[in-house]
Each structure stands twice: as structure tokens, then as C-alpha cells.
Amino acid sequence: MPLRLSQVTQRVMSLMASPFAVLLAFILMGTSVLVTLNGCSEGKRPMATARVCLPTSTDVPDFIDVIRQAGLLDGMAFFDRTSATRTDLKSLGNPAGTVGNDGFVLNIGTLRQDGMGVTASQLSGPGHQVALGFSEGADSPEAKRFTRDVLDKLKQRWRVEVLPDGAGAEPFDKCP
């Protein structure tokens, strides 16, 4: 005779209330945490990081174009995850889906199959501030040349600061 749903629920609830079931649940949770932590490793840090001050919102499309063009010259695919990032921010409880007060969200980059490229995302703070992370890929000298070329192009128009190795990108105090 098949069990009805209410009977199954009662049996499960009675098992869960037992001290054995509670102990078993803690053991299983602890084991899964250990397995998960054991499988984690630190990701590769960017080979270079920088921050850029874009004085107005009208600078953003030009900045995106510089990143896109730099990638195309080196055979990289351009990606723009700005809309998805805004959606993610909303799903995390940020109703406006923004980082700062002005509604600025940016998540773009260029990437080659071997991993060389650059990503750019907004920083909080005044103005339109962007953090850049450059990845090395398979050819370190080529990646260094790419990084230098992109930074030189950006410096022709905007305030750019290359950050020390291992430093995170903090917003400028003033932008512009």
C-alpha cells in the first residue's frame, strides 16, 4: 500500500528530530565544507592593474571603443557584460542595479583564447571611475606590450594610474 504524502512527511520529520539525524547532518555538512575548501585554489592575479578617471558619462563610449579596438588589433574577442552585471546587482538586493550614486555600471573586456586580455569595471566614487585588470596569457612579452599599448592610448585622453603589484584598485578621491 503506497504511503500518502502526509505519512511520508511525518516519518521524515520524526527522523529529523532524532539526535542521530542532527549529528549525521552536521557530519555531512562538515565533510562537504572540507571537500569544497580542499578543492579551492587561489586564482591567478592580474599581471597589471590600473585605474582610470573618465570625467563625464560622455567619455564612457569612447573608453569602451578604445578597449574594443585594442583587443581587435590583437585578435581578441570583445565582451560587454554590463547589462548582466546590472541584473546581478538587482538580484543581490540593489534595486537600482548600480554601484555608485550616478547609476554608472561597467563590465567589459577583451580576451584571447590563451587568456591574454583586459577587463574593465566601474569603481565607486565620484565621476566615472574604472578599474582595469590585464591578464598575461601564454606570451608574457606580448602581454606586457599589449598592456603598455592600451595604457598609453588611454593616457592620451584620460587620467590613468598604474597600481603597484598586488594592490587593489581603489577609487580616486577626485574624478575629474
pLDDT one-digit tens code per residue, 54-76: 998 899 999 999 999 999 999 99
Report the mean per-residue pLDDT for the chain.
Answer: 78
The predicted pLDDT at position 135 comes to: 96
Higher pLDDT, 137 or 38: 137
The per-residue DSSP string of 17-29 comes to: HSHHHHHHHHHHH
pLDDT exceeds cutoff 90 at 43: no
pLDDT exceeds cutoff 60 at 34: no
Domain boundaries defined on the chain:
5-38, 48-162
pLDDT tens per residue, range 73-87: 999 999 999 999 888
Higher pLDDT, 97 or 159: 159
Residues of the chain with pLDDT > 70, as a percent, come to: 71
Q: Are 167 and 49 in contact (CB under 8 A)?
A: yes
3.30.160.110, 3.10.20.30, 3.20.20.140, 3.40.50.720: CATH of 48-162:
3.30.160.110
Q: Where are the alpha helices (DSSP H) in the chain?
A: 5-17, 19-38, 59-73, 82-91, 140-155
Q: Are 176 and 170 in contact (CB under 8 A)?
A: no
pTM for the whole thing? 0.72
